[in-house]
Amino acid sequence: MSQIGYGVLLLCLCVSVYGAIALFMGARRGPRRLLQSGTNALLMMAVLVSLAAAILLYLLLAHDFGVTYVYQYTSTHLPFIYTVSAFWAGEAGSWLLWLWFLTILAAIAVRQSERLGRIGPYILATLAANEAFFTLVLILTANPFETMHSTPVEGVGMLPLLENPGMVIHPPVLFLGYAGYALPLAFALGALMSGELSGEWVKGVRPWNLFAWLSLGLGILIGAWWSYVELGWGGYWAWDPVENASLIPWLIGTAFVHSAMIEERRGMHRMWNVVLATLSFVLCLFATLVTRGGIIVSDLHGFARSLQPIAYLLMAFMALILGVSSFLLWRRRRHLASERQMESPLSREGSFLLANVLLCGMALIVLVGTLYPTLAQSIRGIQVSLDASFFDRATGPLALALICLMGVCPVIAWRRLTREGLRLVLPSTLGGALFAAVLLALGVREALPLVSGAISAFVALSLLSILARDVMSRRRSTGEGYLRAMLTLLSKARRSYGAYVVHLGIVLITIGVTGSRTYQSEQLIALNPGESTAIAGYELRYNDHSVQTLNPEPETYQSKVRLSTVLDVYVGDSRVATLTPQKNYHYALENPWVTEVAIRSTLKEDLYVILASLDEDGLAAFQIVINPLITWIWIGGGLLLLGTAIAAWPRVRRTAEER
């Protein structure tokens, strides 16, 4: 069966290479037959890779331990859902997943591309070339169908850190984002190659852009959530190279979403758009390079100290894309000039431009910070590492400025700031200042909550005032009720209102980040059974403990001794929760200890308990952390999803409400 899988991959390589060549040649002068044949190859790829994916899934579920990948990541103990998620637990499987997503998205793009004129075949050709590269990587460096010399009876099992719902969702969503960014690249290169640079490509790429941006953003948030609940250090973002690597393309992608709008409305920023589209994709490849390629030197993370073979392939591909796009950019530079000049910096275009510069600036800072230890070692020969505080301090001001802009942009009109815009901005600004004053009065003295509180209030009020203005003007013209007016606006002015919901989501995330960063508190305490401790208005009573051995035979990564404690949480006299922080000793693992934290979440704060140790007589040591406002981060993420869905929802025709 695995031989069939490998054969399918080889076939995929031939098909995708053929498709790329046929489409490219067909685009330039081709007979329609060649184009048709190339397109069929692309559709064929979707079928073939789906087949390969199905085969891998089958091998996993059938526990065929003769296949190296199945042996390395599963065992018969593994629950069904994790046997499935083992598909993307390792390098080879996750590449196959990425490729599979890519082929599906490309197949969906076929229909749209056929309606796009000259640019269409170039888009498909780029996608086919992309698929060829990924297949090549699979075959050369990450073959999921590799077999062992003999078939072991039992698999090694899954790393316990990966046995978590977060790790079931996080990689697929993230890879959906990475795969999605192949579309903007294809559109941009397609536009450059065909010379169709009048803005059609930006309109056509918009749904893909939003899709990739949303997937990547959600993937990052889910990763942060996983880190919070599974890694058990009390935080959710450590500015570590792997996290940063996925954030950088997302920041560039955010800039692209905005500058694409400028080109759509005003025919400006053509060069920006081509560059940003290409960069977002290349940075996704770079993210993969950082995660698997061994280029990052870090004393804290066991990144491979030497370059993996995959690194060379990735770097070559990145160089190829950058080279081709630079060459094409230079050749088409005249076509990329803007249709119009910006009339005034105090305009929507101006604020969008500023936002993009800030976003790219943040991406640059994160990139520099991530590469700094590697560069320092290779250039100056010294071993350094960069604290998380660098990223906080360097990106913080830019992030706050950006959030401010979110409040300004909707009120500022295209072309120049009008008096009406000023009238809307002023009350919100006063509101923000008032909120800061209220916080001061309540005893808040730290800079971050004051500043970000004021800015968040400003943005929220600004969005509210826009909503109020629109609802009022709707009521004036149609006499609808408030609720009805709001719903109609939501459905008619989707792009704007979707964006407002997304921006509101960002504000919520800011609130969550500020609260948990500034006011986190913790307590270290040892308790005997029956004893209690108090923190932040909670009383935690340590009631019970147990030690059990799970999955003992046969011995796999899932075999463990579970040390478990039971804590009852009281607020006042009523019991509000029962928490069971645990520690598992996976005796087959080199690093056997895995902590399972217990969390009680409310909108106000999280009560987060880590079991530090458990003695035979029941003496337990706990680290108790209070994380204020952290739930708002996840809620904000939900709004990101909702807002993007609203903005991207297809419409039958544009209405007058569209601005």
For other proteins, the closer CB: 376 or 413: 376
Measure the CA–CA gap between 460 and 471, rounded to whole angstroms.
16
376/434 with CB nearer other proteins? 376
Does residue 637 belong to the site contacting other proteins (CB under 8 A)? no
Contacts 24+ apart (CB under 8 A), 426-433: 427/461, 427/465, 428/458, 428/459, 428/461, 428/462, 428/465, 429/458, 431/457, 431/458, 431/461, 432/407, 432/457, 432/458, 432/461
Q: Considering the complex, what minimum distance in angstroms separates the CB of residue 26 from other proteins?
A: 26
Rounded-to-integer distance, Cα 173 and Cα 151, Å: 33
Q: Distance of CA 433 to CAs 115, 439, 506, Å?
A: 51, 10, 20
Of the residues 51, 169, 434, 526, which one makes contact with other proteins according to CB under 8 A: 526
Would you count residue 655 as binding other proteins (CB under 8 A)?
Answer: no
Stretch that binds other proteins, among 105-113, 246-254, 367-375, 403-411 (CB under 8 A): 367-375
**C-beta closer to other proteins: residue 566 or 621:** 621
For other proteins, the closer CB: 303 or 435: 303
Q: How far apart are CA 313 and CA 308, in angstroms?
A: 9
User: Footprint of other proteins on residues 135-194 (CB under 8 A)?
Assistant: 159, 162
> In 493-619, where do the E strands start and end?
521-527, 532-535, 538-550, 560-571, 574-579, 582-585, 593-596, 598-601, 605-614
Instruction: Kindly state the smallest distance separating residue 91's Cβ from other proteins, in Å.
Output: 5
Q: Assign 568 to helix, strand or coil.
A: strand
The interface with other proteins within residues 282-341 (CB under 8 A) comprises 291-292, 294, 299-304, 308, 333-335, 337-339, 341
Q: Which range touches other proteins (CB under 8 A), out of 8-16, 182-190, 511-519, 523-531? A: 523-531
Tell me if the bond preceding 554 is cis, omega within 30° of 0.
yes
Structure tokens at 178: 């990475």
Q: Which of 18, 372, 519, 570 binds other proteins (CB under 8 A)?
A: 372
**Residues 593-612 within binding reach of other proteins (CB under 8 A):** 593-595, 610, 612
Binding of other proteins at residue 591 (CB under 8 A)? yes
Nearest to 370 by CA among 303, 433, 425, 419: 303
447 interacts with other proteins by CB under 8 A: no
Q: Among residues 136, 1, 123, which one has the least CA distance to residue 69? A: 1
The single residue listed with the structure tokens 């890694």 is: 231
Of residues 361 and 427, the one with the C-beta less far from other proteins: 361
561 binds other proteins (CB under 8 A): no
Q: What are the residues facing 318 on neighbouring strands?
A: none
Which of 198, 378, 549, 602 forms a contact with other proteins (CB under 8 A)? 198
Our finding on whether 385 is near other proteins (CB under 8 A) is yes
- What's the first-to-final CA gap in the chain, in angstroms? 56
Chain contacts with other proteins (rule: CB under 8 A): 90-91, 159, 162, 198, 232, 291-292, 294, 299-304, 308, 333-335, 337-339, 341-342, 345, 353-354, 357-358, 361, 364-365, 368-369, 372, 376, 382-390, 393-395, 397-398, 524-526, 590-595, 610, 612-613, 615, 619-621, 623
